[in-house]
Chains A and B, each alone.
Chain A
Amino acid sequence: MDRSTFAITMSGKFDVIVVGGGHSGIEAALASARRGAKTALFVLKLETIGRMSCNPSIGGPAKGHLAKEIDALGGELGYVADLSGIHFRMLNRSKGPAVWAPRAQNDRLLYSLLMRQHLEEQANLSLIESSVSELIVKKGRIQGIRTLQGKEYYAPQVILATGTFLNGLIHMGNISFPGGRSGEPASEALSSSLLQYGLKLGRFKTGTPPRIDMQTLNYNFLEEQPGDPEPIGFSLYREVELSNKVSCYITHTTPETHNIIRENLHKSSLYGGIIKGIGPRYCPSIEDKIVKFPQRESHHIFIEPEGLNTYEGYVNGLSTSLPPDIQEKLVHSIPGLENAQIMRYAYAIEYDYVNPEEILTSLECRKIKGLWLAGQINGTSGYEEAAAQGIMAGINATLALEEKEPIVLSRTQAYIGVLIDDLITCGTNEPYRMFTSRAEYRLLLRQDNCDERLMPLGYKLGLVSDVRWQKFKHTMELKEREMERLKTEKTINHPDLKEPQKFAVLLKRPGITIEKLKLYGYQPSPEVTPDILRRCELELKYEGYLYRAEEEMQRFRASENLTLSEDIDYYSINALAWEAREKLMKIKPHNLAQAMRIPGVNYSDTAALLLWLRKQQKLERKAE
């Protein structure tokens, strides 16, 4: 990068300013600094950098994919999750190889400390504890920010990653008070600054469950859930030693729990009518679950340890906005928790988010050039979702400094691409959480091949170290060689088989795994790791499916290649329905594939658009 183009002379001047030290801001700041931009990260409190404000856990279905994708691009979330992991499980192991989902329980404090340390050690990066209250904008272009103390900082690129802090309002029963997270102040001024520039804001809510003292549990009534015997983490080619240090515990709600909730529903902020924001359907509060599934007699509750140096436990499944005295009753109605002491009460939080129609797929704000929005501010939920946007905003803000085109990952490339495209193209009317079912090319976007999909890009961008890159390339060579062996070498004579078969052919039979191939004479090459073997197994065993998925992906890419110029006047295309014209004008899709997904643009509109495009191309060709 040509540093002279944005040389820094004055103090208070940066190339990139990142506001917010959560999971999104961290990745944005690191990506920016690693790409050589002089970066400032503004945090409300240095101690709360990388704070896991909800579960002390990273990963799970689709989120594990995101974590591994961020890692392959050269991000930090997966790496620190591995370093601070105290319990590892691979979910969906029994369900399907393409949707295996790594999940870790983390030491909350350690996670935060390590993140802070990594940020402090990063070259080109300044950490500044200060509350940002205002954006400085001139002629539709960002200039910098102003802090609550009135100090101004300047940068041509500013990334906002303020999470739930914008106008945060915490609820516990009928008590409400401003706050960004439990015990931390909200950021009220920034919201009005955004409103001032005409950005449309919405209001969402989310909640947390109570935390309890795990010394006060009766373990006789709890089912232990140990980690996997061979833990698998998120980060590749960084050689983190993983081990399970704690167990989680499973219990369940009882009819008594349900009665307590029904009797006190009116005291809940949510059902008492105090909360106006919309909460995520898939992360419902316990009140929601009881009201919406009245036939269920019991719901699972997971107790997740918060760390190695604390007895605090996270009661997963008991998110609520009921007042503290009811929370006590609730907790005690659960087997094993009869005498549990609550250390922190559950709360619900309402916050402002920026309607994602305000941003482009590069994450740059449509109305203010040089302003980038990333994370929960865009209406998403979850650490991984936030971090994924953070790293992309960091990359694209630095590309903008170099006056280069932004990188927009396609739905065919990564869950990150699916996430951002969904947000911008379809908008969201609840906090957006990633699911594997959102990815059309799920069979190809697997957690086992994140490196194959994204590491070349991460390396090209200078975010992946040479050491990791060399290891990756070596792994690919080994994999290729082993695939070739499996495709060409034959089994021994075996009573199960009429005649010796190629290993790859035998592997396709139901019930045959790569492990079972050993019975038929297969010996993996010495250097080949279990990870490489799993990849070979999957790609060979499900070759037919992967081939069909690939075909479909190619078809989709064809419509992605039909680009739509930004200055098309959709209002002038008479064949389009009026609603479609409005939506297309607002979103300005990059290509036909994106246009097709816009709600309100239906089949006949896309067909009309395609035909219009064809005609246009022909006219252009003629004009040449």
Chain B
Amino acid sequence: MTDISEPICAIITPPGYAAINVIRISGKGSIGIVAQYFKPRKKLLNSPSHRVVFGTFHTKEGRAIDQVLCTVFRAPYSYTGEDVVEISSHGNPQIASQILENLLLDARMANPGEFTLRAVLNGKMDLPQAEAVNDLVFASGAMAESAALMQVQGILSQHLQKLLNDISDTRLRCELAIDFADQDLPLVNPEDLKNRISNLLKQAEDLYAEGTTQGKYIREGIKICLVGPTNSGKSSLFNALLKYSRAIVNPQPGTTRDYLEERVNLQGYTIILYDTAGLRMSSDEIEKEGIERTRELMDYADLILYLLPVDQEINQREIDELAPDIKNKTLWVASKYDLINPDLYTIKNLDILDGHLPDFAIPASVYVPNGLEKLQQEILNHFALPQKWVDRPLVTNARHLAALSRAISSLQNALQSIENQAGYEFTAFDLIATSQALEEILGIVTTEDLLTNIFNNFCIGK
């Protein structure tokens, strides 16, 4: 963080091809800098705040790069509180980089979160608001928003406050033993102290565990990987879950050779679905590669939907070979379940089916109305995800999780110090460290580190 009004710029839309890209420049002289490359120049220079100016962006040498829209914000009426221009170009990443390259002749590349940092420095928002901006940018799905909302409502704060009170109560016992050594206060019982700290540790660990699993699902979405033998209906299920056709569905086995990724919303939770290549022995090099990718995805996913189509014989060996940790995060799905409903479809291969369909598989059909309802329910059940977040503290913010993790290791040290009979002042030291970490989540402390850390969490362009 150097000069506060030095112009900074960045592409603020995600990398890749899109309809448009937006490049933002903020700081002293921003409008003039853009105007050097923009025609009609005067129109931009004289534009009032909050106006869009249409024109062409040229290189320094005068070659036209693209037709662009420039939105002008004049200080202090902008996101950062400074002069800001946002240039919307066509969605070719090449174009956006060329525009940026020219701006970089007079401006510096913005650091992650620097636009928001300036907004804070210029009094446009306070620190908690800035953090909320970050969470909002990354919030995916209704649940993420509501988790953020809950945080605002203070469920987490209340829970942490209680934890802090318990810690301070425990610490008090150490302090009494030290500071009132010459008086007749009840002696401190190390066993009691140990129990108290163990209990605190458990609470913190539970909070952390929920935060890293459920909190992460809310923050990042749930990664679900569709796996199964070729032609088991993975792509049909994928599409059905997506509710529009994206993967090529073809009865010819081996159609999906690589994997597809899509985001869907399941009762407010974001699900990242992966459709994979079918698992089968293949001599096709490309397909082999695809199968390899499938195995990687299975490791990476939070949940695997393993399709066991009712019209195929189950490859028991294939299932047996799966690693235990993979099996633990697998839901077995009896796909094409409609095939065994005589009212709707002809039973093709009931003999094969008999004794092969494991009784733990979840029936699923993309052709029957509500044929996926049970599956959706089982997915939510698998993660023990409640339908609504009420009265439950949940840590979803990465910075908060890191602080919680520090609190846990401090509590572990505190336990250790009692076991080693190191002295209550050391136990107290660890308990203070625990409190400080938790207070950081509550925003009670302020240090340079804290400020810097918050803004480092931001992506470039925010």
> Which residues of A line the B interface, CB within 8 A?
60-62, 91-92, 95-99, 101, 103, 252, 282, 299-300, 317, 435-437, 440, 442-443, 510-511, 542, 545, 548-549, 555, 558-559, 574-575, 596, 603-604, 606-608, 610-611, 614-615, 618, 622
Contacts and interface: CB of A to CB of B under 8 A. Distances in A.
A558 B448 contact: yes
A451 B392 CA distance: 52
Contact of B178 (A436, A558, A614): A436
Contacts of B184: 252, 299-300, 317
Given A61-B181, A510-B422, 17 more contacts: A60-B182, A62-B179, A95-B424, A96-B423, A99-B178, A436-B179, A442-B429, A548-B433, A559-B447, A559-B448, A603-B443, A607-B126, A607-B127, A611-B121, A615-B4, A618-B3, A618-B4
Nearest to B177: A95
B450 to A, nearest CB: 9
Given A99-B423, A545-B426, A603-B446, A437 B179 contact: yes
Nearest to A298: B184
A606 B443 CA distance: 11
B169 to A, nearest CB: 14
B447 A555 contact: yes
A61 B423 contact: no
Interface in B408-454: 419-426, 428-429, 432-433, 443-449, 451
Contacts of A611: 120-121
A461 to B, nearest CB: 30
A61 B178 contact: yes
Contacts of B178: 61, 92, 95-96, 99, 436-437
Interface in B1-47: 1, 3-4
Nearest to B117: A611
B175 interface: yes
Interface string B158-184: 000000000000000001011111111
Contacts of B444: 603
A325 to B, nearest CB: 27
B347 to A, nearest CB: 68
B116 to A, nearest CB: 13
Interface of B: 1, 3-4, 120-121, 123, 126-128, 175, 177-184, 419-426, 428-429, 432-433, 443-449, 451
Given A317-B184, A437-B178, A98 B423 contact: yes
8 contacts: A61-B181, A92-B178, A95-B178, A95-B424, A96-B426, A99-B423, A300-B183, A545-B422
A549 B444 CA distance: 20
A549 B430 CA distance: 10
A570 B170 CA distance: 38
Contacts of B432: 440
Nearest to A250: B184
Contacts of A436: 175, 178-179, 425
Contacts of A545: 422, 426, 429
Contacts of A608: 126
B429 A510 contact: no
B446 A610 contact: yes
Nearest to B181: A91
Contacts of A511: 420-421
A398 B428 CA distance: 40
Nearest to B417: A545
A549 B422 CA distance: 15
A443 B179 contact: no
Nearest 8 A-B pairs (CB), nearest first? A96-B423, A300-B184, A510-B420, A96-B425, A437-B175, A91-B181, A435-B179, A606-B446
Max count, chain B CB within 10 A of own CB: residue among A603, A606, A610: A603
A607 to B, nearest CB: 5
B51 to A, nearest CB: 29
Contacts of A622: 3
Contacts of B423: 95-99
Contacts of B421: 510-511
A612 B3 CA distance: 14
Nearest to A605: B446
A300 B123 CA distance: 58
Contact of B123 (A62, A510, A559, A574): A574
A542 B428 CA distance: 14
Given A299-B184, A607-B446, A611-B120, A510 B126 contact: no
A227 to B, nearest CB: 14
Contacts of A60: 181-182
A594 B73 CA distance: 39
Contacts of B451: 607, 610
A558 B449 CA distance: 11
A607 B449 CA distance: 12
A614 B179 contact: no
Contacts of B3: 618, 622
A25 to B, nearest CB: 26
A583 B34 CA distance: 46
Contact of B182 (A91, A95, A443): A91
Contacts of B445: 603
A607 B454 CA distance: 13
B130 to A, nearest CB: 10
Contact of A437 (B123, B426, B428, B448): B428
A259 to B, nearest CB: 20
A443 B446 contact: no
A596 B120 contact: no
A99 B96 CA distance: 63
Contact of B181 (A101, A548, A558, A614): A101
Nearest to A433: B179
Contacts of A440: 432
B426 A542 contact: yes
A436 B126 CA distance: 36
Contacts of B424: 95-96, 99
B191 to A, nearest CB: 16
A543 to B, nearest CB: 12
B446 A596 contact: yes
Given A61-B181, A510-B420, A604 B126 contact: yes
A61 B180 contact: yes
A537 to B, nearest CB: 12
Contacts of B120: 611
Nearest to A508: B420
Max count, chain B CB within 10 A of own CB: residue among A96, A435, A549, A555: A96
Contacts of B447: 555, 558-559
A54 B14 CA distance: 73
B288 to A, nearest CB: 50
Contacts of A575: 123, 126
Nearest to A89: B182
A23 B302 CA distance: 70
A92 B181 contact: yes
